[in-house]
Amino acid sequence: MDSEEKLMTIISESFLKGKIVGIADQDFSSFTYIPALRSLKKPLEEGKYVWVVSYEPLQSLFRDFRRAGLDYERHLGKNLYVLDVFGSMRHIDSGINGVFVLSGYLDDGVFILKYRTLIRDLLSKLRPKEVIVVGYLESGMCRLFDNPARTQKLLWSLRKEAGVKTAGIITYIKSECPALEEFIYLYSDYVFEGIIENGLRRVIMTKGDEECL
């Protein structure tokens, strides 16, 4: 099994088992998060709910969805929902169905409170049995929040509160926000690092049982 195939297998299993997979690209040229996004194709087609929290401009997320081969427009507002954190913090509302922005004054603390209210409302409206949560390039938190490490921990702690079965993918570029690496390694059940070595793109499992194989 090559490393990308292993990544896809582990992500698919983690969706079933309610686990968290961290994708930690060592720098912005690795792009391991694109195959990770591809793993959403099957659950979306099966009608599972996917909640993407995007820390980059919305068009960047949509481009990466297309690169990953996802027909996102078909699912947006049905079983795919996006919280545009970048748009929220910069006060840019795309107005696209299925994409949320948090409005009004926002700082780290207020963001958490408004986020909690939004997911409570959404969960009570949709009543999903399970949700796949995707943190799209959480490294963007370093540009958007005063204390990104604390905000990241508080956001993920809401997972327990939600009261539904969740699995998750955290995508992240280390060189853009080293402060988040500690939590990703602590919290994720599996971590894959993407590196380029001798001109080859490699994905290495760096946390999880099979790292020892």
Nearer to another protein, 22 or 35 (CB): 22
Dist. CA 92–CA 101, nearest whole Å = 8
Does residue 191 bind another protein (CB under 8 A)?
yes
* Sheet containing 200-207, strands listed edge to edge, beginning at the edge strand earlier in sequence: 99-100, 80-84, 49-54, 130-136, 165-173, 20-25, 190-197, 200-207
Instruction: Tell me which amino acid residue 68 is.
Output: A
List 4, 93, 176, 189, residue binding another protein (CB under 8 A): 189
User: Taking the chain, what is the end-to-end CA distance rounded to the nearest angstrom?
Assistant: 12
205 binds another protein (CB under 8 A): yes
> Which CB atom, from 69 or from 109, has the smaller least distance to another protein?
109
- Burial track 31-57 (b if 16+ CB lie within 10 A, e otherwise): ebbbbbbbbbbebbeeebbbbbbbbbb
**Relative orientation angle of helices 108-126 and 148-162, to the nearest 10 degrees:** 20
Alpha-carbon dihedral sign for residues 71, 75, 81, 85: positive
**150 counts as binding another protein under rule CB under 8 A:** yes
Q: Which residue has the tokens 């009261």?
A: 163
- Of residues 96, 118, 164, 179, which one binds another protein by CB under 8 A? 179
Answer for the pair 137, 171: CB distance below 8 angstroms, yes or no.
yes
Segment near another protein (CB under 8 A); pick from 66-74, 75-83, 133-141, 152-160: 152-160
58 is a site residue for another protein (CB under 8 A): no
**Residue 202 is a binding residue for another protein (CB under 8 A):** yes
Q: Is position 212 an interface residue for another protein (rule: CB under 8 A)?
A: yes
Closest CB to another protein among residues 41, 153? 153
- Report if residue 86 touches another protein, rule: CB under 8 A: no
Stretch that binds another protein, among 53-61, 65-73, 84-92, 204-212 (CB under 8 A): 204-212
Residue 129 Cβ, how far from another protein at the closest point, in Å? Answer: 20
Residues 20, 14: contact at Cβ < 8 Å?
Answer: yes
Verify binding: residue 196, another protein, rule CB under 8 A: no
Summarize as ranges the residues that interact with another protein (CB under 8 A).
3, 147, 149-150, 153-154, 156-157, 160-161, 179, 181-187, 189, 191, 193, 195, 202, 204-207, 209, 211-212
